[in-house]
Structure 1
Amino acid sequence: MSDTAMPSRTSGCPVAHGALSAERTPTGCPVSQRAAEFDPFEDGYQQDPPEYVRWAREQEPIFYSPKLGYWVITRYDDIKAVFRDNLTFSPSNALEKITPTGEEANAVLASYGFALNRTLVNEDEPAHMPRRRALMDPFTPEALKHHEPLVRELARSYVDRFIDDGRADLVDQMLWEIPLTVALHFLGVPEEDMDTLRKYSIAHTVNTWGRPKPEEQVAVAHAVGNFWQYAGKVLDKMRQDPDAPGWMQYGIRKQMQHPEVVTDSYLHSMMMAGIVAAHETTANATANAVKLLLQHPQVWQELCDDPGLIPNAVEECLRHNGSVAAWRRLVTKDTQVGGVDLPAGSRLLIVTSSANHDEGHFADADLFDIRRDNASDHLTFGYGSHQCMGKNLARMEMQIFLEEFTRRLPHMRLSEQRFSYVPNTSFRGPEHLWVEWDPRANPERANAGLRDVQVPVRIGEPSAHAIARPVVVERVTPVADGIVRLRLVSPDGKPLPRWTPGSHIDVECGSP
């Protein structure tokens, strides 16, 4: 396609490229300059992935990145179509190392017997769904309710440690450790092994989704190898008491019933991958949510005044600034997405965080609106048969954290700081989150019982019907006999969100 050519569906490329680089896609189409420059390990992507790819969402929604060797997909409908078809778009590469490691690092991993195999995240059919069904029960809302007291007690005890200090790094002092502790308890990891597994979990993320420098790869490989071996030892310990509580013990019991479905290699891989999946995503999501809320003080105050808004606020935080920026798929046969030809073998980076800011699905997508009635349409948890099994555990933890902060530290504010992120394509959250407050204004100093108040947690996706938006009647204009026109405005004087198809108002009329 030439610089001046019009978009053509038959060419397999739906955009007219502007200035072309010397790079070509696997289909022969020239790579645009913006696509050639795309680098998800740059700080721009780490700081704000949706903004970093706004140009693509608006002009070139599917493009080839020669630096990455992946096709990058940025729009909501295209990404949902990929998630919906897990036969054409295999999840098998979801846990591949996005940065190939050198021979020395690979030799180190081999020396530890590292053999991370298929898990629920990256397994194809027909093996995936029988395993998912076999292992699903501990993730039901009824089963997750059992973990609520632990999360509450951890949240309260950690806040107790710093509430009178007036300043805290919420990541280091709370949000990193609690989700990991909850994840390890959920998995059934014995207490004495928790500290060791904490040390190893970050290495797995860097090894899989990051870009460690050549001189760092060997150290990362040793950490991952140790993680793998230690996970195996903990699993052996669990086998000695298969009736103990925990998802891994549940899997061991299921293996006794269905050894062909729940295999040894599968359990070992899930032991390692499960720790990272259940821990880092929730830790990062909560840090992102608190940061976002404190950047919008009026919204933060609304939550403090009405904790009933927290469940939907969690969904909007996950949409607007979630912890999973992108995911991956592998094309199994020649196909098209959004009019772009994708040959078999193509690797896809599906930027879910960009989809969550797609104006085609979310009106005023960049607006942070905790009353958004379709916030839970976000793709942060994925979609379809591979949607995150732990999504409701994450929701529960986030709700409890926000309830704890809004009740006990409503006067909390962000400290002046520069936010940094671990460079990787998929998991994102600030490495540090410094907040400050005046301890003399702590509400519980005047109300000692405030510490132990709790708001009911909604386990699962909130209902759009439970969301109300306050408005006031600014003007009533008679237009016909018995008919009036109402002008409704926001109580704070700010513009109301735009109307979208299907929007409506429920009017409850009392007696005069």
Structure 2
Amino acid sequence: MTETSAEPHRSQGAGKCPVSHIAAEFNPFADDYLQDPYAVFTRARAEEPVFFSPSLGYWVVSRHEDVRQVFQDPAFSASISITPLKELCPAAVDELVKAEMVMGPSLVNEDPPLHTKRRRLIQKAMISPARIEAVTPRIRALTTSYIDGFVRRGHADLVADFAWEIPALVAFALMGVPDEDVERAKEFAGRLALFTWGYPSEEEQRKLAAGMGQYWIYAKEHVKRRLEDPTDDYISNLIAAWRKPGNEDLFDENYLVTTMMNFLFAGHETTTNATANGLRALLEHRDQWAALCADPSLVPGAVEEILRFSSSVVAWRREATEDTHIGDVPIPAQAKVLVLTGSANHDEEVFPEPERFDITRTNADEHLAFGFGRHLCLGAPLARIEMGIFLEELTRRLPHMQLAEGQTFTYSPNTSFRGPDHLFVGWDPSQNPVPEDRP
């Protein structure tokens, strides 16, 4: 759910002086930006594709070519990717100390060569094609079950009743979280976006830090159980791979805990947001929804266009390790960089008519929704399968579904993860095409 967020403190600018209008006005926590960041993205690409934001203290990058460069160039480190955007206040630090929380490196915020070795091991142990294929029937069964729960009702919130639930259950089951812990674990994981990528007040930050401490304790206890009593879940598989000769020095128990925390968050947050964004886009573009309902073979292309058109991750962070350039703009060493992946996905130079939602777009898969290069999201294949199954089942059973009129969409105030808090829809259940779905 959306919480309030303080505006960032305006810091001393770096580099350009005077500051341009777009740089001075850039505020990813403002209401108009949260509602429609793409208007800002379009202006940035046209007026100043790389600019320094004095309020954030970050260089902001908006073009597809430049975003790809930052992801690929070893001069840009991933080290700050999951560092809290706002410096922790003393009360927040105290909460983390109480929990003995030690958030060290993880795949998300480390660089080669160690990243390369760890990624190879984790990918093989946890997210191989065979493991993804094995979980697909469970995704289908959960999707069917959740639609069963509201199909005769005639209305639903597709976030709370559907998109928030299934990816979480899948991710948590894969990590061995018992059913009775799922709600608690979801609550813990849900705080991570605001804690890391938001700009909360000190009191909000303290509360979020307390929740993060609880999340750390829970994940640490779960890893300890699996160290003592492994099963066939993903974290047990990773432990088994770690214990093989030659792998023991790759990481430690804290790394396992951090990996679990990140997987539980990323495994459901991004898919939840992408699904909600995509269903909103489809239902607002009735011709595209009708085409998809009529031809299920369009589902893979629809998934890619959703990821391009309304990304669940609209920005990510890097830090320059040396004096370098983005395009022709000089970037000093230690400069912080915010790459606008959502803007890159609407770049006119790559995607003709980028504001047109077209599920038959031939190059939609050139989007950067999952990042690019050495840090390409490991969970991308799982997210694509989940979204595809969701679309297949919803179009088959609820083709007459429509957005509820008069609803206002709200979004979590953070720089990176974007999806509506709610998505209310309605339909006439007497017109459900599957006879068993009618009241």
TM-score clears 0.5: yes
Per the TM alignment, residue 262 of structure 1 is displaced from its structure 2 partner at its CA by 3.3
Which residue, 416, 432, 438 being the options, matches 1:426? 416
| Counterparts of 1:379 and 1:312, CA distance in 2 | 15
Secondary structure of 2:368's counterpart equals coil
| Counterparts of 1:28 and 1:401, CA distance in 2 | 47
Q: Find the counterpart in structure 2 of residue 260 from structure 1.
A: 249
Per the TM alignment, residue 140 of structure 1 is displaced from its structure 2 partner at its CA by 3.0
Within 5 Å, give how 1:41-440 maps onto structure 2.
41-85=29-73, 87-137=74-124, 138-242=126-230, 244-257=231-244, 258-416=247-405, 417-440=407-430
Counterpart of 1:237 in structure 2: which amino acid? R
| Counterparts of 1:250 and 1:193, CA distance in 2 | 21
Secondary structure of 2:52's counterpart equals strand
TM-score, scaled relative to structure 2:
0.94
Task: Render the CA deviation track for 1:194-238: whole Å, top value 9, x for unaligned.
Answer: 222112111122110112222212211111111111110111111
The 8 Å contact of residues 193 and 234 in structure 1, kept in 2 or not, is answered as no
Secondary structure of 1:329's counterpart equals strand
Per the TM alignment, residue 286 of structure 1 is displaced from its structure 2 partner at its CA by 0.4
RMSD between aligned residues: 1.5
Per the TM alignment, residue 101 of structure 1 is displaced from its structure 2 partner at its CA by 2.4
**Larger RCO (alpha carbons 8 Å, 6+ apart):** 2
The 8 Å contact of residues 216 and 261 in structure 2, kept in 1 or not, is answered as yes
| Counterparts of 2:45 and 2:317, CA distance in 1 | 18
Counterpart of 1:254 in structure 2: which amino acid? A
| Counterparts of 1:366 and 1:357, CA distance in 2 | 7
| Counterparts of 2:178 and 2:110, CA distance in 1 | 28
Q: Find the counterpart in structure 2 of residue 444 from structure 1.
A: 434
Per the TM alignment, residue 23 of structure 1 is displaced from its structure 2 partner at its CA by 8.6
Q: Determine what percentage of the aligned residue pairs are the same residue.
A: 45
Per the TM alignment, residue 52 of structure 1 is displaced from its structure 2 partner at its CA by 2.0
| Counterparts of 1:314 and 1:142, CA distance in 2 | 21
Secondary structure of 2:191's counterpart equals helix
Secondary structure of 1:53's counterpart equals helix
Counterpart of 2:187 in structure 1: which amino acid? K
| Counterparts of 2:16 and 2:196, CA distance in 1 | 29
Q: Find the counterpart in structure 1 of residue 4 from structure 2.
A: none
Secondary structure of 1:136's counterpart equals helix
Per the TM alignment, residue 24 of structure 1 is displaced from its structure 2 partner at its CA by 6.8
TM-score, scaled relative to structure 1:
0.81
The 8 Å contact of residues 409 and 421 in structure 2, kept in 1 or not, is answered as yes
Secondary structure of 2:192's counterpart equals helix
The 8 Å contact of residues 285 and 323 in structure 1, kept in 2 or not, is answered as yes
Per the TM alignment, residue 49 of structure 1 is displaced from its structure 2 partner at its CA by 2.1
Q: Find the counterpart in structure 1 of residue 3 from structure 2.
A: none
The 8 Å contact of residues 152 and 437 in structure 2, kept in 1 or not, is answered as no
The 8 Å contact of residues 44 and 52 in structure 1, kept in 2 or not, is answered as no
The gaps in structure 2 that reach 5 residues or longer are 1-9
The 8 Å contact of residues 23 and 36 in structure 1, kept in 2 or not, is answered as no
The 8 Å contact of residues 219 and 260 in structure 2, kept in 1 or not, is answered as yes
The 8 Å contact of residues 254 and 262 in structure 1, kept in 2 or not, is answered as no
The gaps in structure 1 that reach 5 residues or longer are 1-21, 451-512
Counterpart of 2:298 in structure 1: which amino acid? L
Counterpart of 1:188 in structure 2: which amino acid? G
Counterpart of 2:305 in structure 1: which amino acid? E
Alignment CA distance shift 1:114-1:272 (3 Å): same
Moved more, 350-359 or 97-106: 97-106
